[in-house]
Chains A and B, each alone.
Chain A
């Protein structure tokens, strides 16, 4: 749990400008720095954080520009794509690829080989999958953060029955088994949109994000509520109340800036959790079927671990790398934001 930023240099609610005396002070040219600037400075000096940030950025860029990269490299991750291979010419009668691994030689046309049965290029599909997985994980993170923060703020700041109700609801959601819930909710949502293949694809993404959010907002809500509980008795809040500031202003202009640290930490640790969760759900067939996503790629490759290992272990490696990099980055961010950490 992060320490409220007010412990460190100055009260951020007054804005950064007020901290920085002008150079008129003279000799020392002392620049007071906001907690954010301190944290970022620490991150800049942390080699692990830099490496991880670079890796994450690289993967994000690969994902964002996936269709463009595929076009440039003349590969296709889908059967109807522009550079898609003909299945009958690229595979043998069992669906095993005859171009590239596992039986053929390495070829620059298809650096990671092609998929059995569908003759999709593995690199292309991986990039498309990365794109979808990152999109879902990011949206899930953003929405669950918003929900969690708002709920936590309201619960922490209000007293009495509202707090109790919200806490009860949070506990109920926490008690619900994630996997079973996903198994139940997903088909219901999909059956509403089942009529159209394109709408189905969107519906699946939507339902997956919804499931991840439903089972993910509680952690941050409790965290924020705890933080707010400890902050609300502080003098600056009482002062604001005495002045007559409306509750909304107190929540969003006084309390929220103090909570930036735990929010940033939760986001940076939540994102890899969502990537892994999406991969797991798609692997189980609950998430996305029929559109590329990292989990779906691993599920398709599962049977080939001994006959075509490259097909399975590259996507597994990419998921592992992404999640690991995000986790390490999250750790470094947590360390950077915690003023009590000795560097």
Chain B
């Protein structure tokens, strides 16, 4: 999943910044890592394997009061809210939490997520080899205009998300990959009304036939892309995107794309049909144009509307000590299933020892601090590619004996000498108009040069950063990227990140930023996908270690944490570790 935050943009062009994590009290003036992130973080993005297919609505929170308007203040622009295209963590969190129901959903309690039913009556039933999935859509669910939601609508929604030409950012490529016939299916808009036969509707039951085993279908079903869209009202996607019909507790009353979203209660939402969501506040007022410093100032002040406000953007490193002093109880730390990594261009940097030397040379902790991030709180050093908490994860370091986060310039230089590559030139992008990114770049250059590399940073701008990075012909030999697991399994990492990609056909890099291509690995990925479900988790962990030790295509730098905050009237604001966003489903305001 794409995580768009100011920090990501800065970081993604610079290099994943690592926070030193784990243990150690920051107070003794040491350079120890942060205050010891909460257990959820040391567990990492515990997208957990917990599933409860029998959960029923309504959900009631003890002591919660109804009423009030919640103010959401953020700097990250709100990308599209069309359910077929939602794929950023913030649009997903808001969309799925408040507006768009789908087959299944996550509920979070004490930082631990559980998959429960949403529109489906359970979390799906499958045949033995996971090539056929059945979901029964429950009765009594209506859109905001009173029309009932049908299984046909869910089928149309799934098909719509597969229309990658109309919705280039859609996560529908999963359906294309796994649903039978998906690879050739162009979607209802580009395909002029074409339907996908492998999604069969019989009354209120949907049966999906897969082209290969897809044990993770229940998790994929939690995406708004697998929710209902009324065919007759969504004929014009651009128009529908301005006011998608809500099936959740809130509906749009006003929407300025990217900048502002106003939600009011959806009286057609029946809590008895929803095992996950609550609707205590009357309305949501969301502003996506507030600068970071302003967000921190407003929340610290805690006056007037600020008491009812919250943010999903990280607190700035400069303001974190102030929050700790004045408002420690209003800080919300949390985990995400996200890893940031450096992807050496596999076509250009061909010697694995040079890649190992990069891993040894990268000054993670210095780069985190230089970039204005908070070690141990919103970043911590990575070792394996799969983040902590992923079931079956193997714990290893990409080079034997290295300490994650702390560079070893001597060992790096030795490797370079062995490879005959002392002074090897590394060219990487950095965002020149973001001061934090520039500082982080300087720290990275310092670390690399100490280890014997020649570091050549190539400037880009905030506007152009993504385009430059996705250009396979750009004169750089190492790219920085991040990835957040779409569900708790290696199956949402390796097929997407490391399978051979046809860059020539796409014209740009999609997710395989290392341009890595090894038939051996492609085969092994397919092999794991066909294993029995109970064996897959460990198999992914082993594959992670195998790929890193044999090829090292990606150098994991940091795992992400979150450090959000809220005003004093806001309750129920925890971090959903499946995406690193606030638990919108549980929020209520203290009425004064």
Please give the residue numbers on chain A whose beta carbons come within 8 Å of chain B beta carbons, in ascending order: 78-80, 84, 86-96, 98, 116-118, 187, 190-191, 194-197, 200, 285, 289-290, 296, 299-300, 302-304, 306-307
Of chain B, the residue at the smallest CB distance from A187 is B461
Please give the residue numbers on chain B whose beta carbons come within 8 Å of chain A beta carbons, in ascending order: 19-20, 26, 29-35, 293, 316-322, 363, 365-366, 369-372, 374-377, 406, 430, 432-433, 435-436, 438-439, 441-443, 445-446, 449, 456-461
Q: CB-CB < 8 A to B365: which residues of A?
A: 87-88
CB distance from B302 to the nearest CB of A (A): 16
* Cα distance, A307 to B296, chains bound together (Å): 14
Of chain B, the residue at the smallest CB distance from A79 is B442
CB distance from A303 to the nearest CB of B (A): 4
Q: CB-CB < 8 A to A91: which residues of B?
A: 31, 369
Contact B458 A197, beta carbon cutoff 8 Å = yes
- From A80, A117, A289, A299, contact of B369 by CB (8 A): A117
Further 7 A-B residue pairs, CB within 8 A, beyond A98-B29, A194-B461: A79-B446, A84-B446, A93-B377, A94-B375, A95-B374, A289-B433, A307-B321
Q: CB-CB < 8 A to B372: which residues of A?
A: 95, 117
- From B33, B435, B445, contact of A289 by CB (8 A): B435
Contact B318 A197, beta carbon cutoff 8 Å = no
Q: A79-B442, A116-B318, A303-B293 are in contact. Are A92 and B432 (CB under 8 A)?
A: no
Q: CB-CB < 8 A to A303: which residues of B?
A: 293, 316, 318-319
Contact B442 A78, beta carbon cutoff 8 Å = yes
Contact A96 B321, beta carbon cutoff 8 Å = yes
Q: CB-CB < 8 A to B457: which residues of A?
A: 197
Q: A92-B29, A94-B317, A290-B432 are in contact. Are A307 and B322 (CB under 8 A)?
A: yes
- From B33, B370, B406, contact of A79 by CB (8 A): B370
* Cα distance, A96 to B20, chains bound together (Å): 15
Contact B370 A117, beta carbon cutoff 8 Å = yes
CB distance from B199 to the nearest CB of A (A): 47
Name, among A197, A300, A306, A307, the residue most crowded by chain B CB atoms within 10 Å (CB to CB): A197
Contact A94 B366, beta carbon cutoff 8 Å = no
Contact A118 B370, beta carbon cutoff 8 Å = yes
Q: CB-CB < 8 A to A304: which residues of B?
A: 318
Could you give 12 example pairs across A and B, Cβ below 8 Å? Answer: A79-B439, A80-B442, A80-B449, A91-B369, A93-B20, A93-B375, A95-B370, A96-B321, A118-B370, A197-B432, A290-B442, A303-B319
Contact A92 B31, beta carbon cutoff 8 Å = yes
Q: A84-B446, A194-B459 are in contact. Are A93 and B319 (CB under 8 A)?
A: no
Of chain B, the residue at the smallest CB distance from A86 is B366
Q: CB-CB < 8 A to A190: which residues of B?
A: 432
Contact B370 A194, beta carbon cutoff 8 Å = no
Contact B317 A95, beta carbon cutoff 8 Å = yes
* Cα distance, A89 to B20, chains bound together (Å): 12
Q: CB-CB < 8 A to A80: which residues of B?
A: 442, 445-446, 449
Q: Which 10 A-B pairs rank lowest in CB-CB distance, beginning with the nearest? A: A290-B438, A303-B318, A93-B375, A87-B366, A79-B442, A93-B34, A95-B369, A88-B365, A200-B459, A197-B457
